[in-house]
Amino acid sequence: MKWAPKSQYLLAISTVSLCAIGCYVFADFLGYHAVALLLLMLTSLLAMVLDLIPMVIAATLSALIWNFFFIPPRFTFHISYSEDLLLFLLYFVIAMMGGILTVKIRQAEAKARDKEEKEASIHLYNTLLNSLSHELRTPISTIIGAVDTLGDQEVNLGESQKEELFHTIQSASLRLNQQVENLLNMSRLESGVLKLSMDWIDLEEWSFGLLGRMRMESYQPNLKINLQQALPLVRLDVGIMDIILGNLIRNSVQYAGSEVTIQLQLSLSQELLEIQLTDDGPGFPEELIPIVFDKFYRLPNTKPGGTGLGLSIVKGYVEAHHGDISLSNKPKSGCLFIIRIPVETSYVNMLKHD
Amino acid sequence: MIKPVVLIIDDEIPIQKLLKIALESHDFKVIQAYSGKEGLALAASHLPDAILLDIGLPDMTGHEVLKELAAWFNRSIIMLSVQNSEEDIVQALDQGATDYLTKPFRTGELLARIRTAIRRNASDKLAAQWTFQNLQIDLGARTVRKDDAMLKLTQTEFNLLVLFAKNEGRVLTHQQILKEIWGVGAQLETQYLRVFVGTLRKKIEDNPNRPVHIITENGVGYRFQS
């Protein structure tokens, strides 16, 4: 916890004063030596939250208060016995040293933490660069190579070969586009300024529309949509919901192949939207399930084509909607994603109108 | 046959080249402008049948170009934008753009939009009867037939369908539709719009889950096409 400078001074002065007042009330019972220990304990506790200067003030203030109100003769700064003078000096030194050392240790700790975080982000950045240079360069070199071949006057290509090259360029550019899209999404999430633009959506219209849009980017998943009867309108960010479901579907196709059958089930109970997506692919290795949502994680031995960002983007966007996502394997084969998102609902579509 | 003229306003040379080839090979005449000012001048001197306008231009924004065009240009303007800028798109449509495409777009899609846009210019908004494939709308009798069978539409559904049909090929924003049908004041209630579009689709579309007439533009509005 970090306090603002002003409240640090306030905290230092008020706690020392309060403690002193308490001690003052019980001064006869406690005796002035115990008071010193109590004040010393307070200053050590304060050292755990205060910065250097407020700490020095707390230590000085408590020493002076102890001297003035408690060391005989009381209500003077004068000290009669040399033993008490020694105690007072010791008190001052211990309070200062204890306080200052604790503050310094805290500062050093914070510095070490910063350094660790910086190193972690450098590591992440390097992973990103590696992943990027591979995943972006592959489609780019495919396109450059195919175009060079098509433009080469000395090569005599047959119609079917030309067609194949065109098809290669087409799928490489779509793949490139998807990679860039994912990177943009990731940076939107990381920037921390993601603003949801909520609108009422008809889940039936949305889910079938999504299927149509997936077809347009030449994904032809065998997708079955299963909707609970009479769903109300819900308020969601459609663009982001498209990204969530789109990434899950692409992920299934990526890992389970284009022959995979995907089932999408939408249901709603008590303002909680539940989206279940299952496929009949091989499922995930049990021990890896906890880490598949991590950034840049990719299952071993998978086909190239992803950045390892897809599922972490899904998770980030689900959380941006204050929801959660879980993954499990189905008993026989295939996997099951369950997304739960709290939503505002409107049953206006259940009303008779006109 | 006179070739329809398309003006492209975009400062990206590769995009210009690509669009010129794609459009000319499909029998359009193409004129090109690389800045907003040049685009405005060419629009005035050539009166193109449709304009493709990029939102990001070097000298002025697409929105500023739209504002100037809105005063006198009454043909179709298709905005080209980069992804993830729904606010930009809605603003452009409210300023008078008739349609939009987000980059990267497929050439087939672009050609379809331009053809619709040019047909829109020519369509007779004053006719008493409109036909869209299997749909027939009779404005005088306030009736709609689908495959020659009379449809029972409510007052609001009919008004909505007429608004869509009058703006065939044009993307209408949620706010534009709400204002036209329910008047000023109802302007935030997009949930009503969803409901009426849903019931209208069930009546006029063969498969309401795969609509061919009323197309949803996510986060933006709807487009009606025949």
Lowest mean pLDDT among A76-85, A149-158, A188-197, B102-111: A188-197
Determine the 3-state secondary structure of B173 from DSSP.
strand
Task: Please check whether residue B154 touches A, CB under 8 A.
Answer: yes
In one letter, which amino acid is A192? G
What is residue A263's predicted lDDT score, i.e. its pLDDT? 92
Task: Please check whether residue B156 touches A, CB under 8 A.
Answer: yes
Comparison of pLDDT for B58 and A305, the residue scoring more? B58
Determine phi and psi for A230, rounding to 5 degrees: 50, 55
Distance CA A39, CA A68 (A): 14
Distance CA A126, CA A35 (A): 57
What is residue A131's predicted lDDT score, i.e. its pLDDT? 67
Other C-beta atoms lying within 10 Å of the C-beta of residue B86: 18
Interchain proximity A239–B84, CB inside 8 Å: yes
What is residue A216's predicted lDDT score, i.e. its pLDDT? 66
Q: Do residues B18 and B7 lie in contact, with contact meaning Cβ atoms separated by under 8 Å?
A: no
Task: Output b/e per residue, B172-191; b: 16+ Cβ within 10 A.
Answer: bbbbbbbeebbeeeeeebbb
User: How large is the average pLDDT for residues A232-237?
Assistant: 90
Q: What is the pLDDT of residues A76-109, one digit of tens each?
A: 888 888 888 888 888 888 888 888 888 888 889 9
Interchain proximity B218–A239, CB inside 8 Å: yes
What is residue A349's predicted lDDT score, i.e. its pLDDT? 59
In which band, very low, low, confident or very high, does the pLDDT at A185 lie, cut at 50, 70 and 90? confident
Task: Please check whether residue B198 touches A, CB under 8 A.
Answer: yes
Distance CA A348, CA B122 (A): 39
Question: Which pTM was predicted?
Answer: 0.69
A2 to each of A7, A14, A50, A353, B114, how far by Cα in Å? Answer: 10, 18, 8, 57, 60
Q: What is the pLDDT of residues A323-339, one digit of tens each?
A: 999 999 988 888 999 99
Helix (H) or strand (E) holding A208: helix A203-216
Find the chain A residues whose C-beta atoms sit closer than 8 A to any C-beta of B: 173, 177, 181, 184, 188, 197, 199-202, 204-205, 208-209, 212, 216, 233, 238-239, 242, 346, 348-349, 353-354
Q: What percent of chain A has pLDDT over 70?
A: 91
Lowest mean pLDDT among A191-205, A265-279, A310-324: A191-205
Interchain proximity B104–A177, CB inside 8 Å: yes
Q: Are strands B135-138 and B143-146 parallel, antiparallel or unpaired?
A: antiparallel
* Chain B hits for A227, Cβ within 8 Å: none
Q: Which of B83, B87, B191 has its CB closest to that of A233?
A: B191
DSSP A67-98: IIIISSSTTSS----HHHHHHHHHHHHHHHHH
In 3D, which of A246, A245, A220, A337 has the Cα closest to residue A284? A337
Q: Do residues A200 and A346 lie in contact, with contact meaning Cβ atoms separated by under 8 Å?
A: yes
Inform me whether the pLDDT recorded for A264 exceeds 60.
Answer: yes
What is residue A74's predicted lDDT score, i.e. its pLDDT? 85
Interchain proximity A197–B195, CB inside 8 Å: no
Over its length of 226 residues, how does chain B's per-residue pLDDT go in tens digits?
A: 789 999 999 998 988 999 999 999 999 999 999 999 999 999 999 999 999 999 888 889 889 999 999 889 989 999 998 766 788 889 999 998 999 998 888 888 899 999 988 888 777 666 788 888 888 999 888 899 999 889 999 998 999 999 998 888 899 998 899 888 888 765 557 888 888 898 999 999 998 888 999 998 888 899 998 8
Q: If you measure CA to CA, which chain B residue comes closest to A202? A: B194
In which band, very low, low, confident or very high, does the pLDDT at A354 lie, cut at 50, 70 and 90? very low
Lowest mean pLDDT among A31-45, A72-86, A178-192: A178-192
Inform me whether the pLDDT recorded for A207 exceeds 60.
Answer: yes
Residues 6 or more apart whose Cβ sits within 8 Å of residue A130: none
* Chain B hits for A204, Cβ within 8 Å: 209
In which band, very low, low, confident or very high, does the pLDDT at A352 lie, cut at 50, 70 and 90? very low
For residue B191, the distance in angstroms to the closest alpha carbon of chain A comes to 6
Mean pLDDT of the residues in chain A: 84
In 3D, which of A90, A99, A13, A15 has the Cα closest to residue A52? A99
Q: Which of A199, A208, A239 has its CB closest to that of B190?
A: A199
Interchain proximity B156–A354, CB inside 8 Å: yes
Report the residue of A173, A213, A238 to disrupt the B interface, i.e. the one with the largest count of B CBs within 10 Å.
Answer: A238
Q: Which of B156, B157, B195 has its CB closest to that of A349?
A: B195
Residues 6 or more apart whose Cβ sits within 8 Å of residue A259: A222
Comparison of pLDDT for B101 and A174, the residue scoring more? B101
Distance CA B28, CA B115 (A): 10
Interchain proximity B219–A239, CB inside 8 Å: yes
Report the residue of A348, A350, A351, A352 to disrupt the B interface, i.e. the one with the largest count of B CBs within 10 Å.
Answer: A348
What is residue B190's predicted lDDT score, i.e. its pLDDT? 80
Report the residue of B113, B152, B194 to disrupt the A interface, i.e. the one with the largest count of A CBs within 10 Å.
Answer: B194
Helix (H) or strand (E) holding B62: helix B62-70
Tokens 């959660």 appear where?
A324
Distance CA B93, CA B81 (A): 12
- Angle, alpha carbons B214-B216-B222 (nearest 5°): 70
Q: If you measure CA to CA, which chain B residue comes closest to A196? A: B219
Q: Compute, in degrees rounded to 10, the torsion defined by CA atoms A66, A67, A73, A78.
A: -170
Distance CA B182, CA B192 (A): 10
For residue B154, the distance in angstroms to the closest alpha carbon of chain A comes to 7
Tell which phi-psi region holds residue A244, choosing left (phi > 0), alpha (psi between -120 and 50) or beta: alpha
Q: Do residues A49 and A1 lie in contact, with contact meaning Cβ atoms separated by under 8 Å?
A: yes
Tokens 């930009």 appear where?
B88
Q: Do residues A294 and A255 lie in contact, with contact meaning Cβ atoms separated by under 8 Å?
A: no
Task: Please check whether residue B74 touches A, CB under 8 A.
Answer: no
- Angle, alpha carbons A180-A183-A185 (nearest 5°): 110
In 3D, which of B122, B125, B123, B86 has the Cα closest to residue B102? B86
B140 alpha-carbon distance from chain centroid: 25
Determine phi and psi for A88, rounding to 5 degrees: -60, -45
What is residue A170's predicted lDDT score, i.e. its pLDDT? 87
* Chain A hits for B218, Cβ within 8 Å: 209, 238-239, 242
Distance CA B53, CA B42 (A): 13
Its ipTM equals 0.76
* Chain B hits for A199, Cβ within 8 Å: 174, 190, 219
Inform me whether the pLDDT recorded for A200 exceeds 90.
Answer: no
For residue B72, the distance in angstroms to the closest alpha carbon of chain A comes to 34
B21 alpha-carbon distance from chain centroid: 23
Distance CA A160, CA A249 (A): 31
Q: What is the pLDDT of residues B155-169, one digit of tens each?
A: 989 999 999 988 888
Q: Which of A202, A239, A349 has its CB closest to that of B86?
A: A239
Inform me whether the pLDDT recorded for A156 exceeds 90.
Answer: no
Residue A25 CB-density burial (10 A; 0-12 exposed, 13-18 middle, 19+ buried): exposed
Distance CA B47, CA A116 (A): 63
For residue A58, the distance in angstroms to the closest alpha carbon of chain B comes to 54
In which band, very low, low, confident or very high, does the pLDDT at A117 lie, cut at 50, 70 and 90? confident
